[in-house]
Amino acid sequence: MNCRRFWHRQGLVLALLMGLAAAPGASAQGSVHALLVGVSEYPELSESVQLAGPRNDVRLWRDFLARRGVASEQVHVLADGVDGGGLPTREAILDALEALSATAGQGDEVFLFFAGHGAQQPVSAEGAGDEPDGLDEIFLPRDAAGWNAPRQAVDNAIVDDELRTAIAAIRRSGASVWAVFDTCHSATATRAVRAEGVRYRQVPPAELGIPPEALEAAQAHAGVRTRGAGGGEPESPADLQGGDGGLVAFYAAQSTQETPEYRLPRGAAEAREHGVFSFTLHEVLAEAPGATYRQAIDAVIQRFQTMPRATAVPLAEGLDLDRGVLGADADAITQWQLVSDGRNLALKAGKLHRITAGAVLAVLPSATADDDARLGYVEVTDADLTSARVRPVAHNGMPAPAVLDLPLISFARPAVLPVDFTLAVAVLGDDSGAGRCAAPDAALQRAVATVRTGGSDLAERLDWPGEPGAADVWLCRIGQRLYLLGPQTPVDETDGAPLAPYLDLAAAGSTALADRLEDALGRVSRVRNLLRVARQSASAAAPALETALHVRPIGREGDGRACEWLYAPEPPPDSERHRAGRELELTAGDCVSLVITNRGRSPVDITVLFVDAQFGITALWPGPRQLYNGRIEADGRIAVGEFAAHADTVGREQLIVLGVKVEAASQPADLRFLAQAGVRTRSAAPSRPLEALLAEGGFGASRTRGMGAPGGGGAGLEAAVFPTRVRPDSE
């Protein structure tokens, strides 16, 4: 099943979403039209495939368009459970697409959004030449039913060819299309530990009643045809070039990956089920109104790599990736209206914009004012999804402004955004949905109670939600092992054991177990907090640092060459270049290096860290060769590495580049103290007091801490995350 191919063949509706961000109510040249499709209910299918998130995604995007000034009559909603929306049936969806081809015109922007289930079926006789694997990708509308044997198709499904034809008709009108698909068609579910509260937007063929022999026959026929024709690559749309309107498509996952939905924003009382891709994309665009399509998808991918439950890698294709989303001005400033009634102040932004209690914002008299014209600062006291209450606060050498001295309408720009350092932990049992996890015994219960009530700094940062799907880490007892699991933790194909760090329950009594559990959760917490800081720094705004990772595939070549230290600021000539965010599969022995360029106007202090699957953090750079000085001057360029890839740990790992902007003459910022060993299976001698202090001090004792927002005041932190998986060279 190839999600990427499906969107590519559609012409990639993504272009439309991006276009909507233009001027309020319209793009730079024309109007904005939108079709929002969300299928949550499938009356003809089993209870196990019902969804909760698509209707909430549609509400999210409808509100987004309204805030951008798009008239409600130009937004067509087909979503069950949404006020004012029609039912998302096959006929209604195809009719709405046809209507858009007649309504949209030259210079208009068309945003197409699809959320719901995807699947595959054997290709029809008419389309047999277009599908190398013999399978059609399909989107399931509300009235989709099971397999119709006489027709050899799923009743009422919308086939990829039909969507491609409809999008091409819209583009022939001269309108540009941005299509976003928060669904997937992967027929293979990853073998992994799962918890309740997380659903996946795909339906396996068996659930639709498609006979395995029909799939096998279609694939076998395609294999004979492909070999005979010398083909195998999917056919590209014939009308991507020429006089048609532009096209951008975003899709939530790559082939074989799953598209999850769960309650967001995390930990919020008003959280609702959302597609993770939809929610994160909306979050990025709310924070960076001037983003291009490419900047937006890159920021989403970066954030996905630091979210424990976001396991897919989104993709984008199209002709206009470097155009502003929905025609947005690339110089647009991240700011929101601040309204005063003479006594109280209300901000027109909230948790959907990552504005939470403790955030500090600079107040400007107008939307076009320079930063130096700020009237003072305000601090957020509480926030809901789209609004917040604030109070004047002294900050950055300025006194707290009086409310009466502020305009009735002013504008607030982020100065300091807090990072939530809470670690959510769930104890799994037989009824958790995780399968083999046994209910906690008395010793484990006592250990957990000790950790929860111990009064330590860590205990203050731990949260114990009743819903496993809301947790960052799960405690799972299997035999005499207590595993520390994350969502989608892979399992060993031979014995089904989770491939995750664990504590040996037979090693000591409950008191020692409590100490070891607290130590392990502390290490997990510091890793999660590091990734959260990196996520906070993943903005769609243009970064000062340009970071590329290079791989020399020595492990696959086996030619005996060793990794070499790079002295010139250039990558090895025979290496492969990769961008941040995309997961890399390496072979043990491969050589990895980084080339970092400072495109900004100020020096930046660099620290390179590696986070392994056992929650260990290794400081890779700077080192003795650099006298522990990782500073890059403006317009400077460095090469870091090479480092050899090792298969000592199994699972998703991250190479993280942190850059701290140098505001004034100062000693280099050195973040190597964040290094820590991974989770220890058994008890071990305590680390030296200084090391323990620095490791614990990496992320302090309170739930939240200020962190400079990209482009605002404060620390000016940037981060690039490169997720990796390393396989042994014997595979």
Instruction: Please choose, from the candidates 332, 343, 299, the residue with its C-alpha nearest in 3D space to the C-alpha of residue 413.
Output: 332
Is residue 678 within 8 Å of residue 501, measured between CB atoms?
yes
For residue 230, with 0-12 CB atoms within 10 Å meaning exposed, 13-18 middle and 19 or more buried, which class applies?
exposed
Name which residue leads in pLDDT, 280 or 626: 280
Report the pLDDT averaged over residues 142-166.
Answer: 91
Q: Report the pLDDT averaged over residues 399-424.
A: 91
184-188, 371-375, 656-660: least confident range: 184-188
The values of phi and psi at residue 434, to 5°, are -90, 0
CB 592 within 8 A of CB 643: yes
**Strands 502-504, 489-490: parallel, antiparallel or unpaired by DSSP?**
unpaired
The residues, ordered by sequence, that sit 6+ positions from 710 with a Cβ below 8 Å of its Cβ are 537, 539, 541, 543, 716, 717, 718
Other CB atoms within 10 A of residue 340 CB: 17
**pLDDT score for 382:** 94
Q: Summarize the confidence of residues 37-43 as an average pLDDT.
A: 96
Strands 176-182 and 147-148: unpaired
Work out the mean pLDDT of the chain and round it to a whole number: 79
AA identity, residue 190 = T
Q: Helix, strand, coil proportions of the chain in percent (round to 5)?
A: 25, 30, 45
Distance CA(106)–CA(350), nearest Å, equals 36
User: What is the pLDDT averaged over residues 17-45?
Assistant: 68
pLDDT at residue 568, as a whole number: 85
Spatial distance between the Cα atoms of 301 and 251, rounded to a whole number of angstroms: 11
pTM for the whole thing?
Answer: 0.68
Contact 486, 473 (CB under 8 A): yes
User: How confident is the model over 46-73, as pLDDT tens digits?
Assistant: 998 999 999 999 999 999 999 888 999 9
Q: How far apart are the first and last CA of the chain?
A: 24
Summarize the confidence of residues 623-636 as an average pLDDT.
Answer: 84
Give the residue, 182 or 535, on which the prediction is more confident: 182
* pLDDT value, residue 665: 66
Sorting pLDDT into bands at 50, 70 and 90, what band is 304?
confident
CATH class of 3-327: alpha beta
pLDDT at 102 over 90: yes
Amino acid occupying residue 5: R
Domain limits, CATH 3.40.50.1460, in the chain: 3-327
More confident position, 445 or 678: 445
What is the predicted pLDDT for the residue at 531? 83
Closest residue by Cα to residue 29 from 105, 112, 108, 111: 108
pLDDT > 90? residue 74: yes
pLDDT at 555: 58
The confidence score (pLDDT) of residue 136 equals: 81
| CB distance 275 to 262 below 8 Å | no
- For residues 31 and 16, give the distance between their C-alpha atoms in angstroms, rounded to a whole number: 12
Q: What is the mean pLDDT of residues 233-248?
A: 53
pLDDT of 167-182, one tens digit each? 999 999 999 999 999 9
Nearest to 526 by CA among 538, 518, 537: 518
Q: Which of 108, 231, 105, 237 is nearest to 163 (CA)?
A: 237
Task: Identify the three-state secondary structure at position 281.
Answer: helix
Q: What angle is formed at CA 161 by the lines to CA 159 and CA 164, rounded to 5 degrees?
A: 115
Res 232 pLDDT > 70: no
- Cβ-Cβ contacts under 8 Å for 40 (sequence gap 6 or more): 50, 51, 52, 53, 54, 55, 79, 80, 81, 116
Instruction: Please compute the mean of the pLDDT values over residues 27-55 and round it to a whole number.
Output: 89
**Mean pLDDT along residues 198-207:** 79
Rounded-to-integer distance, Cα 483 and Cα 504, Å:
9
Complete edge-to-edge strand list for the sheet that includes strand 545-552: 576-578, 545-552, 591-598, 637-644
Dihedral pair phi/psi, residue 558, rounded to 5°: 60, 35
Separation between Cα atoms, residue 528 and residue 656, nearest integer Å: 13
Using CB atoms within 10 Å of the CB of residue 152, give its burial: 0 to 12 exposed, 13 to 18 middle, 19+ buried: middle
In this predicted structure, what is the pLDDT of residue 260?
Answer: 80
What is the per-residue pLDDT across 345-393, written as a single tens digit (0 to 9) for each? 999 999 888 898 999 999 999 988 999 999 999 999 999 988 999 999 9
Mean pLDDT check: name the lowest of 338-347, 359-368, 683-692: 683-692
**What mean pLDDT comes out for the span 621-650?**
84
- From 317, 293, 249, select the one nearest 22 (Cα to Cα): 293
User: Residue 209: pLDDT above 50?
Assistant: yes
